[in-house]
């Protein structure tokens, strides 16, 4: 990845990159690095074979714990598997599960929030108190409870991770909906004689989910951490499959044999979450400039 | 004597912005003197004010030969020194009272804060002073109000609370951005009296106002700003009586048109022959206040609005005029009474039945920007209203949208913009175009020009007058600006504490008001040469 970092810095003397530089001036360099890293991850998710030719599951008893080299960029692990390949192949499950769970959270939360904001006071209150109950569980505890009931598979993980964080979104959306209903442009739509469902669909919902959309990348970051945490605890992907959290959990037993194993797995998680957060924060900042 | 404020060749710009906001202005201000900056929005008035308290805005670059407060270069002030100066030696009243009061603190706490920071008073002395301050800015029931949150107060009360917090520590310099814009004539006069007495008490004042009458009443000197420059500065009387610069002349001319003594309003339609568009019968409405008491917002009131006629509604803030219009628009339910639209019941319809007729009664709000979905372009805004009037998506609808834009003196280039990219006047034109797109019989204008510059006000009022005549619209026109009301209305209703206290022909009411409240209201207008020209 270090070669990628240096590429994101424009090389002097090349006119095209010079133009690029003037185009990118004003963008904070950290954001640029984050963008490059995420682009790289996107490639790893879509076509891991392009970046890593070695089989992430192929063991090699002759080369256990070999340090990073030209053959094995990130070295090999306790079974002689190529770590570069494993790190690349682990991107897809992490990102897909993280992204899907964040999407599930946003969608469920938005629908419930809309319902709570629009329904009569009594029903809305009932919905909000149920949300409070859900919120009173620490999110990761909630996830653990669900997984221990239904077992660790992708569907359960998705439901569990999706449910965690829903209360927050419900509150956000409901607050927006309540304020929006008194907004002047909603009243303008009422006086035009538009039916209520159309006003909700056209004006209330799209404006109410704006803050949720802005916070969406931050939530992906949280979900990816959660996926890694669960794998670390042995509740995520099953052992031979490449997974950042699982790699971290197993490799910490071999810190003395190969310190780079844990460092690389941890680095992959940290880098991903940092990059997604940087992007999310940039979005928030951009949004704050506007109404 | 050393001036309290000394500004020489001040430049403020925002790198990356299109041009300099303030381009080398100079002025001085003595103790006990009031200087008014006047000019259109975007001319750099507000940035100048903010620079005086060291808050020019994010990323601003300030350059000046001199920028001194009481002989000290303010650019050398450390943040700690600024903390001492702001709120203590310099009081600052921002324009937007809604945004500059903390929604989570009571009004009393807000006003007590500068006292807590800058004066050593006991808690009892502080709360006594808060009540005294609220009373001095004309807030009724100060004990009750001090315990309330900003959201529970009307705009006028909030503005007064803001002024109270700015003058809490008896500052040497009071800086105010449009201090009375949101206030009705009576309260405005009260606040102006207060400011005048502060000025006489040796407080220096730097105010920004677009209301020339306010400047005339308050300021010793006036500086006219245009595009970042002071184009003319001098004693108030001289500037207002004998303006030299063409820009000053155009500003004064615009103000004179808005407050035209000879009104152009009288329509050829005679009242008895025209159709009754809206009639209300004994409409009442009350709200429960924070203290649990029922407050009557509207007492039984009946009004009649004829086609082609304009009915002006006058009244102080909180007098119930907005509530009545909201009831007529069907946005608020009345407690009792009935509203008829073209002789048919309107309030008692089910909401589904009313929906089909709704587009015939259209509002024009005070703040056009808030009345548009922030995601919508002008095309989408107009498209939505046109769809209601039966235009399907396609070429005819687009052509009709363009036709409407031309009707309100805009063109195709505005069609694809978002309202936030338009000026205040352009936004209000779009709002009027949207109202017309629905093909209404009645326009309900709630303070349609009070957020606009004087010259723009005149244009919008002209436009409304012309459209009303062309389309034979009935118009309910609400304004706290009596000059605007007089110019637009055929008949006037005076509202006071939820009750109609006087109804009649506009000219008659303006020249010989019967009810004491109307008389007080008219007497409070800063410029009092009302009837002389018309009589």
The answer to whether residues A88 and A40 touch, using CB atoms and an 8 Å cutoff, is no
CB contact under 8 A, B358 and A193: yes
User: Considering only CB atoms, which chain B residues are within 8 Å of A183?
Assistant: 370
- Which two structure tokens, joined as six digits, stand for B137? 């800015």
Helices A166-181 and A210-232, axial angle in degrees (round to 10)? 170
CA distance A94 to A90: 7
Contacts of residue B389, Cβ cutoff 8 Å, sequence gap at least 6: B359, B437, B438, B439
> Poorest-confidence range of A64-78, A148-162, B100-114, B300-314?
A64-78
- Which two structure tokens, joined as six digits, stand for B292? 């649990």
Which residues span the domain enclosing B275? 271-360+440-534
The answer to whether residues B216 and B46 touch, using CB atoms and an 8 Å cutoff, is no
- Which two structure tokens, joined as six digits, stand for B150? 């900003």
Q: What is the DSSP string of A83-115?
A: HHHHHHHHHHHHHHHHHHHHHHHHHHHHHHHHH
- Which two structure tokens, joined as six digits, stand for B26? 């100079």
For residue B283, give the H/E element and its range.
strand B276-288
Residue B393 burial (CB < 10 Å; 0-12/13-18/19+)?
A: exposed
Predicted confidence (pLDDT) at residue A23 exceeds the cutoff of 60: no
User: Considering only CB atoms, which chain B residues are within 8 Å of A290?
Assistant: 420
- Which two structure tokens, joined as six digits, stand for A17? 């990159």
Q: Which residue has the higher pLDDT, B159 or A4?
A: B159
Q: What is the longest distance spanned by two Cα atoms in chain A? A: 78
* Å between B329 CA and nearest CA of chain A: 7
User: Considering only CB atoms, which chain A residues are within 8 Å of B357?
Assistant: 193
Domain ranges of chain A: 68-289
CA distance A177 to A170: 10
Closest CA to B481 of B497, B508, B457: B457
What phi, psi does B237 have (nearest 5°)?
Answer: -55, -45
CA distance B73 to B300: 61
pLDDT of residue B529: 46
The answer to whether residues A222 and A215 touch, using CB atoms and an 8 Å cutoff, is no
ipTM above 0.85, yes or no: no
Any domain includes B523: yes
Q: Residue A76's beta-bridge partner residues?
A: A82
Any domain includes B344: yes
pLDDT of residue A265: 86
Shortest CB distance from B373 goes to which of A195, A203, A290?
A: A203
Pairing of strands B310-315, B491-496: parallel
pLDDT of residue B261: 46
User: Considering only CB atoms, which chain A residues are within 8 Å of B329?
Assistant: 187, 191
Average pLDDT over chain A, rounded to whole? 82
User: Considering only CB atoms, which chain B residues are within 8 Å of A187?
Assistant: 329, 331, 363, 371
Classify domain A68-289 at the CATH topology level. MetI-like fold (1.10.3720)
pLDDT of residue B204: 92
- Distances from the Cα of B429 to the Cα of B17, B249, B483, angstroms: 27, 25, 21
Terminal alpha carbon distance of chain A? 38
Predicted confidence (pLDDT) at residue A167 exceeds the cutoff of 60: yes
CA distance B366 to B350: 28
Predicted confidence (pLDDT) at residue A116 exceeds the cutoff of 90: yes
pLDDT tens column, A246-291: 888 888 888 888 888 888 888 988 898 899 888 888 877 776 654 3
pLDDT of residue A1: 40
pLDDT of residue B311: 92
| CB environment A138-147: b (16+ within 10 A), e (fewer) | ebbebbbebb
Any domain includes B287: yes
CB contact under 8 A, B330 and A190: yes
Q: Give the gyration radius of chain B's Cα atoms.
A: 24
> Poorest-confidence range of B155-159, B199-203, B392-396?
B155-159
pLDDT of residue B240: 83
pLDDT tens column, B416-468: 888 888 888 889 999 999 999 999 999 999 988 877 777 788 888 989 998 88
Grouping H, G, I as helix, E, B as strand and the rest as coil, residue B376 is: coil
Predicted confidence (pLDDT) at residue A33 exceeds the cutoff of 60: yes
Count up the domains in chain B and report the number. 1
CB contact under 8 A, A206 and B375: yes
CATH number of the domain where residue B321 is located: 3.40.50.300
DSSP state of B272: G
Closest CA to B278 of B344, B336, B342, B329: B342
CA distance A15 to A22: 11
> Poorest-confidence range of B209-213, B259-263, B330-334?
B259-263
CA distance A143 to A159: 9
Mean pLDDT value of segment A155-176? 91
Contacts of residue B185, Cβ cutoff 8 Å, sequence gap at least 6: B316, B480, B481, B482, B521, B524, B525
Q: Which among B251-255, B260-264, B461-465 has the top mean pLDDT?
A: B461-465
CB contact under 8 A, A194 and B385: no
The answer to whether residues B283 and B336 touch, using CB atoms and an 8 Å cutoff, is yes
Grouping H, G, I as helix, E, B as strand and the rest as coil, residue B298 is: strand
Predicted confidence (pLDDT) at residue B34 exceeds the cutoff of 60: yes
CB contact under 8 A, B358 and A191: yes
Contacts of residue B205, Cβ cutoff 8 Å, sequence gap at least 6: B33, B34, B35, B173, B174, B175, B176, B195, B198, B199, B218, B219
What phi, psi does B52 have (nearest 5°)?
Answer: -65, -30
Residue with tokens 């629009």: A118
pLDDT of residue A25: 57
What phi, psi does B36 have (nearest 5°)?
Answer: -110, 130
Predicted confidence (pLDDT) at residue A185 exceeds the cutoff of 90: yes
Stated pTM of the model: 0.73
């Amino acid at each position: 990845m270090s070669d990628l970092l240096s590429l994101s810095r424009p090389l002097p003397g090349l006119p095209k990159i010079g133009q690029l530089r003037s185009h990118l001036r004003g963008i904070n360099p950290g954001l640029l690095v984050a963008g490059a890293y995420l682009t790289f991850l996107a490639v790893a998710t879509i076509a891991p074979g392009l970046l890593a030719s070695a089989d992430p599951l192929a063991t090699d008893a002759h080369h256990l714990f070999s340090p990073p080299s030209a053959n094995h960029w990130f070295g090999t692990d306790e079974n002689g598997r190529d770590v570069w390949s494993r790190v690349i192949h682990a991107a897809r499950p992490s990102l897909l599960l993280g992204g899907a769970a964040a999407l599930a959270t946003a969608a469920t939360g938005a629908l419930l929030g809309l319902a709570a904001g629009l329904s009569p006071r009594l029903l809305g209150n009932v919905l909000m108190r149920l949300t409070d109950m859900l919120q009173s569980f620490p999110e990761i505890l909630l996830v653990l409870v669900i997984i221990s009931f239904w077992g660790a598979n992708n569907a359960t993980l998705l439901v569990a991770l999706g449910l965690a964080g829903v209360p927050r979104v419900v509150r956000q959306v409901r607050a927006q909906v309540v304020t929006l209903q008194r907004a002047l442009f909603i009243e303008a739509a009422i006086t035009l004689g538009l039916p209520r469902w159309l006003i909700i669909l056209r004006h209330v919902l799209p404006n109410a989910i704006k803050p949720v959309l802005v916070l969406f990348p931050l939530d992906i970051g949280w979900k990816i951490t959660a996926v890694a945490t669960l794998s670390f605890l042995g509740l995520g992907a099953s052992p031979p499959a490449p997974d950042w959290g699982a790699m971290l959990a197993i490799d910490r037993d071999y810190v003395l044999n190969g310190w780079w194993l844990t460092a690389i797995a941890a680095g992959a998680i940290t880098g991903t979450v940092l990059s997604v957060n940087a992007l999310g924060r940039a979005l928030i900042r951009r949004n704050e400039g506007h109404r | 004597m050393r001036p309290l404020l000394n500004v020489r060749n001040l430049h403020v710009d925002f790198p990356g912005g299109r041009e300099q906001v303030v381009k080398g202005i100079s002025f001085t201000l003595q103790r006990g003197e009031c200087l008014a900056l006047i000019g259109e929005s975007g001319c750099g008035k507000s940035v100048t004010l903010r620079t005086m308290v060291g808050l020019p805005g994010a990323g601003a670059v300030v350059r000046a030969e001199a920028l001194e407060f009481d002989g000290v270069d303010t650019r050398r002030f450390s943040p700690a020194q600024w903390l001492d100066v702001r709120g203590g030696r310099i009081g600052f009243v921002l324009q937007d009272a809604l945004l500059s009061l903390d929604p989570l603190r009571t009004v009393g706490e807000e006003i007590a804060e500068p006292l807590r920071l800058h004066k050593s008073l006991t808690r009892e002395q502080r709360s006594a002073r808060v009540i005294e301050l609220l009373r001095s800015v004309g807030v009724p029931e100060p004990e009750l109000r001090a315990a309330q949150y900003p959201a529970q107060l009307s705009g006028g009360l909030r503005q007064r609370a803001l002024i109270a917090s700015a003058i809490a520590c008896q500052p040497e310099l009071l800086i105010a951005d449009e201090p009375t814009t949101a206030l009705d004539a009576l309260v405005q006069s009260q606040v102006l009296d207060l400011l005048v007495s502060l000025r006489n008490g040796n407080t220096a004042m730097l105010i920004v106002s677009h209301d020339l009458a306010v400047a005339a009443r308050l300021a010793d000197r006036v500086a006219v700003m245009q595009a970042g420059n002071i184009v003319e500065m001098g004693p108030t009387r001289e500037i207002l009586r004998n303006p030299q610069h063409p820009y000053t002349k155009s500003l004064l001319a615009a103000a004179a048109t808005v407050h035209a003594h000879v009104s152009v309003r009288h329509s050829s339609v005679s009242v008895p022959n025209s159709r009754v568009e809206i009639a209300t019968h004994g409409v009442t409405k009350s709200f429960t206040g924070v203290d649990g008491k029922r407050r009557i917002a509207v007492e039984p009131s009946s009004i009649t609005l004829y086609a082609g006629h304009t009915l002006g509604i006058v009244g102080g803030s909180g007098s119930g005029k907005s509530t009545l219009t909201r009831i007529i628009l069907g946005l608020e339910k009345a407690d009792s009474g009935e509203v008829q639209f073209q002789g048919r019941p309107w309030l008692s319809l089910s909401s589904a039945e009313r929906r089909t007729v709704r587009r015939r009664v259209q509002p024009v709000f005070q703040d056009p920007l808030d009345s548009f979905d922030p995601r919508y372009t002008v095309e989408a805004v107009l498209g939505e209203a046109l769809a209601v009037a039966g235009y399907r998506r396609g070429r005819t609808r687009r052509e009709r949208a363009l036709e409407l834009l031309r009707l309100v003196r805009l063109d195709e280039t505005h069609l694809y913009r978002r309202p936030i990219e338009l000026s205040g006047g352009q936004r209000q034109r779009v709002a009027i175009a949207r109202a017309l797109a629905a093909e209404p019989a009645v326009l309900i204008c709630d303070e349609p020009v009070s957020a606009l510059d004087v010259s723009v006000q005149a244009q919008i009022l002209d436009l409304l007058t012309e459209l009303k005549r062309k389309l034979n619209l009935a118009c309910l026109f609400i304004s706290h600006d009596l000059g605007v009301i007089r110019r637009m209305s055929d008949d006037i209703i005076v509202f006071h504490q939820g009750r109609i206290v006087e109804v009649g022909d506009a000219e008659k009411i303006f020249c010989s008001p019967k009810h004491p409240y109307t008389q007080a209201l008219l007497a409070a207008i800063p410029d009092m040469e009302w009837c002389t020209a018309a009589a």
